[in-house]
Amino acid sequence: MITKVYKINRDNIDTDKLKEAAAILQTGGLVAFPTETVYGLGADAMNPDASRKIYAAKGRPSDNPLIVHISKWEDLEKIARDISGKAKKLADAFWPGPLTMILNKKDQVPKETTGGLNTVAVRMPKDEIALRLIEESGCLIAAPSANTSGRPSPTLAEHVLKDLNGRIPLILDGGEVGIGIESTIIDLTEEIPVILRPGRITNEMLNKVIGEVTIDPGLISEDSGVKPKAPGMKYRHYAPKAGLVLVEGEEENVIAKINALTEELQKHEKKVGIIGTDETVSRYLGDYVISIGARKDEEGIARHLYRILRDFDELGVEMIYSESFSSQGIGQAIMNRLLKAAGHQILEV
Ligand code: AMP
Ligand code: MG
């Protein structure tokens, strides 16, 4: 299969290209498209064969459910039951935007889309290209991140092409995404809503709108016996090909430790990558040192993370050492992704 890539100007969307993409979705095919979080790999959520194609193209485990993308509130009523007042409040506050809600599903939603669960994950994305594609196709679009399963999520169309070239017919290229990490997932089927995956919409933001929220114990437990409730969170994920180790502690100690570890590996002819910050990059000795941004610009750090992990793969780096970040606010999502990418390898210094 030849994979076409169409550049789309968000401020002046080419209707012919959009119609071509919509026609692929209507006939059960796959289209990759930008959202404000990461690129998604879309298919008609109500067509089980179309959903199956997503799992095949990504190599995704079949028990890992998909998020259904909608463009208007009424779409939610087509697929979800027991839509609570809290769901309504959250939609008013954060949709369109980077928040996914888990609700009880209606029978019409195929099990292929929900990984066999009786609940469905729903999000209204903010990206104009995504919204127009949903409307033009008349489909609700099931779309996980458009990467090969386990790899870092794509923040550029080039990342999608790298992973899925020859496996899907079309990629809509809307340039670099704005947020760069996947949506926050909140489970509203519990009495007290549970955060299953941290993201740009933080616990504090959710708490202000609906009161008490809790965090899935499976997300924070070091004990691998405690399974996260979002099936996707149990897999090693977001991972570069190289090994990744986080180093945490006082700035001076972190720099010294990373430099020492790097020197040691370089003696053995290993290519080492270092993820520093604007404040520290000039002090590292490695051959491949990249700044993830300024420490106080957490949004920038989130946006750059996956691209840096992929860039190190392109450079053929064999080991990556990264600074660690605060786990407050957006930092919680950043650290969640970094720790998963690192397989929880963290050195305290
Ligand atoms: P992705 O779209 O690749 O970011 O992955 C979607 C994430 O949502 C995965 O971690 C899934 O396990 C999670 N998810 C989707 N549907 C559900 C659901 N019904 N219940 C719990 N988690 C879900
Ligand atoms: Mg994903």
Q: Which pLDDT belongs to residue 232?
A: 79
CA torsion sign for 312, 313, 317, 318 is positive
Among protein residues, the one with the nearest Cα to ligand 1's atom 3 is 144
CA of 144 to the centre of ligand 1 (A): 8
pLDDT digits over 76-118, tens only? 999 999 999 999 999 999 999 999 999 999 999 999 999 999 9
Question: How many other C-beta atoms are found inside a 10 Å radius of the C-beta of residue 105?
Answer: 22
Nearest to 40 by CA among 138, 142, 135: 142
Spatial separation of the C-alpha atoms in residues 340 and 220, rounded to whole Å: 11
Among protein residues, the one with the nearest Cα to ligand 1's atom 5 is 144
Residue that the structure tokens 């780096």 belong to: 317
Ligand approaching nearest to the C-alpha of 41: 1
Ligand approaching nearest to the C-alpha of 103: 1
Among protein residues, the one with the nearest Cα to ligand 1's atom 21 is 230
pLDDT average, residue stretch 255-274: 96
Topology, domain 4-219: DHBP synthase (3.90.870)
Q: What is the DSSP letter of 106?
A: P
Q: Which pLDDT belongs to residue 220?
A: 72
pLDDT digits over 151-192, tens only? 999 999 999 999 999 999 999 999 999 999 999 999 999 999
Structure tokens at 72: 């208007």
Spatial separation of the C-alpha atoms in residues 326 and 335, rounded to whole Å: 8
Is 298 touching ligand 1 by the criterion CB < 6 Å?
no
Q: Which pLDDT belongs to residue 312?
A: 96
Among protein residues, the one with the nearest Cα to ligand 1's atom 7 is 232
CB of 56 closer than 8 Å to CB of 43: no
Residue extents of the structural domains in the chain:
4-219, 243-348
Residue-wise DSSP of 272-321: EEEEE-TTTGGG--SSEEEE---TT-HHHHHHHHHHHHHHHHHTT-SEEE
Is 119 touching ligand 1 by the criterion CB < 6 Å?
yes
Spatial separation of the C-alpha atoms in residues 18 and 172, rounded to whole Å: 9
CA of 233: how far to CAs of 11, 57, 137, in Å? 35, 20, 30
The atom number, within ligand 1, closest to the CA of 105 reads 19
Provide the pairing of β-strand 184-187 with 194-197.
Answer: antiparallel
Q: Which pLDDT belongs to residue 274?
A: 98
Residues whose Cβ atom is located within 5 A of ion ligand 2? 144-145
pLDDT digits over 288-319, tens only? 999 999 999 999 999 999 999 999 999 999 99
Q: Which pLDDT belongs to residue 223?
A: 66
Residue-wise DSSP of 190-235: SSS-EEEE--SS-HHHHHHHHS--EE-HHHH-S-TTS--SSGGGGS
Residue-wise DSSP of 119-174: EEEEE----HHHHHHHHHHTS-EE--BSS-TTSPPPSSHHHHHHHHTTTSSEEEE-
Average pLDDT, the chain: 95
Is 194 touching ligand 1 by the criterion CB < 6 Å?
no
Of all residues in the chain, what percent carry a pLDDT higher than 90?
Answer: 91
pLDDT digits over 219-252, tens only? 876 666 778 888 877 766 778 889 999 999 999 9
What is 243-348's CATH superfamily?
Threonylcarbamoyl-AMP synthase, C-terminal domain (3.40.50.11030)
Among protein residues, the one with the nearest Cα to ligand 1's atom 15 is 65
Q: Residue 326: which pLDDT band, with cuts at 50, 70 and 90?
A: very high
Q: Which pLDDT belongs to residue 108?
A: 97
Question: How many other C-beta atoms are found inside a 10 Å radius of the C-beta of residue 115?
Answer: 19
Among protein residues, the one with the nearest Cα to ligand 1's atom 10 is 232
Is 117 touching ligand 1 by the criterion CB < 6 Å?
yes
Spatial separation of the C-alpha atoms in residues 124 and 299, rounded to whole Å: 21
Q: Which of 66, 119, 227 to mutate to test the pocket of ligand 1 (most atoms within 8 A of CB)?
A: 66
